[in-house]
Chains A and B, each alone.
Chain A
Amino acid sequence: AQSVAQPEDQVNVAEGNPLTVKCTYSVSGNPYLFWYVQYPNRGLQFLLKYITGDNLVKGSYGFEAEFNKSQTSFHLKKPSALVSDSALYFCAVRDGLGGSYIPTFGRGTSLIVHP
């Protein structure tokens, strides 16, 4: 079975400060990990993914994520938050060694960046 948890429903950060949105996962095999962002009345947009290789993955809009196998985490980060980063963020996992081909999404974390 595979699962993903986003422990925070909401994250508040001041503009210009670094931000972190947390994600932990559980899979039987190797994880394929993804981050998506959703703006109001829009679909999800792909930000970045980890399949294999370097633990630090860089993605769109200045976001990056660090894969930590021992802690089974894939936290999303950005060095300097913008008000326009305010949105709903989803972490997703697929088992890369078969198992369920259905991706599992977290419940989402609402990021609010204050001016």
Chain B
Amino acid sequence: KAGVTQTPRYLIKTRGQQVTLSCSPISGHRSVSWYQQTPGQGLQFLFEYFSETQRNKGNFPGRFSGRQFSNSRSEMNVSTLELGDSALYLCASSLGTGGGNQPQHFGDGTRLSIL
């Protein structure tokens, strides 16, 4: 069974640009969550999608947005990039929505560097 796939693995952008990251969950998983990981802040929750609907949202500005398609694949978009957006962005999928007792399965992330 294929795991969670995130593309691209590495991305370099400049301030002010926008970026779109992609995540393909494990087959059959309907929940996709996004996290930002930085050395200083650790893992921070961005948002969760379940059946194409945003179910939960973390404390990030509106520049961070996402969506989920009918095949459960998800995209995350960051507009007007800032230096502080440099991070590892992780996607995780699970069978149930966030309140369930199932573990999350993570992709290997997209390393975003802002110059």
Interface residues of A (CB under 8 A from B): 32, 34, 36, 41-46, 49, 51, 90, 94, 96, 98, 101-103, 105-108
- Chain B residues packing against A (C-beta within 8 Å): 4, 6, 42-43, 45, 48, 55-56, 58, 90, 92, 97-99, 101, 103-109
B98 near A103 with CB under 8 A, answer: yes
| Alpha-carbon distance between A1 and B26 when the two chains are bound, in angstroms | 30
- Known interface pairs A101-B99, A103-B98; A44-B42 also in contact (CB < 8 Å): no
User: With A102-B45, A105-B42 known to touch, is A46 a contact of B101 (CB < 8 Å)?
Assistant: no
Shortest C-beta distance, B66 to chain A (Å), equals 14
Cβ contact of A42, chosen from B55, B58, B103, B108, cutoff 8 A: B108
**Most A C-beta atoms less than 10 A away, residue of B6, B98, B99, B107:** B99
Known A46-B103, A101-B48, A108-B43; further 8 A-B contacts with Cβ < 8 A:
A43-B107, A44-B106, A45-B106, A96-B101, A102-B56, A102-B98, A103-B45, A103-B98
Taking CB atoms, residues of chain B closer than 8 Å to A44 are 90, 92, 104, 106
